[in-house]
Structure 1
Amino acid sequence: MKKKLCPCYSGLPYADCCGVFHSGMPAPDAEKLMRSRYSAYALRLADYVLATWHPSTRPESLGFEQGRQPKWLGLEVRRHVPDGDRAEVEFVARFRAGGPTQQMRETSRFVREDGRWCYVDGDVGA
């Protein structure tokens, strides 16, 4: 039986990739956290996305329950720049939201607190 590939486009089985982080294991670096958050968006795991968002910038909800959500179609990590307990990850995500395929470029900022990486914010289109 073929294992389901991870939505983060790592080429690994979900259970061996983002699945371990969605099950509670902390991501070892900002790039793996960003990939697991992308997978969580694709799988509609709002609790995981919110739990990995820094409290200083975290929204109350993601609106997954409101109407149609984009279908996530691909992820390309362009750059991962670790700097101690801070890091940046630049990526391009492809999606479809009822029309033609679009892409979102973002440079995301992460911080590690108490041994866990959190998404802080990002510059879209950067």
Structure 2
Amino acid sequence: MVTIDKQSSRPYYEQLVLGIKEDILHGILEPGDKIPSVREMAKELLMNPNTISKAYKILETEHVLVTVKGKGTFVKQAESGPRDLRRIHELQQQFNELIIEAKHLQVTEKEIKQWLREAEAKLGGKEA
């Protein structure tokens, strides 16, 4: 399941959000699966429950998780409706910023494409 790199400069809640999304992409978590409660996850990862709660709330806002009162938090069924264009635009802006940083560090286009291929392979070639 999810691991947190305590040495990373990335906030823990962001690592948890990405970790859960990655587990879903790899099929470790599937729609309908119950995930640990905030307290259980905090105990498992040795983290503050508020950090876990923040990550879960983000994932609920992004329609990745759903909480059913009295039953728990579950991986939400993928929706076949319209894509979230606002989030896609934000992602495109982040991608452009990464390209600027890469070019500033003299990373070649070939290297960037290789990184993309490696990331795709890591995710099993699935399109996200």
- TM-score band by shorter chain is under 0.3
TM-score with structure 2 setting the length: 0.26
Give the structure with the larger helix fraction: 2
Give the structure with the larger strand fraction: 1
TM-score with structure 1 setting the length: 0.26
Structure showing greater Rg: 2
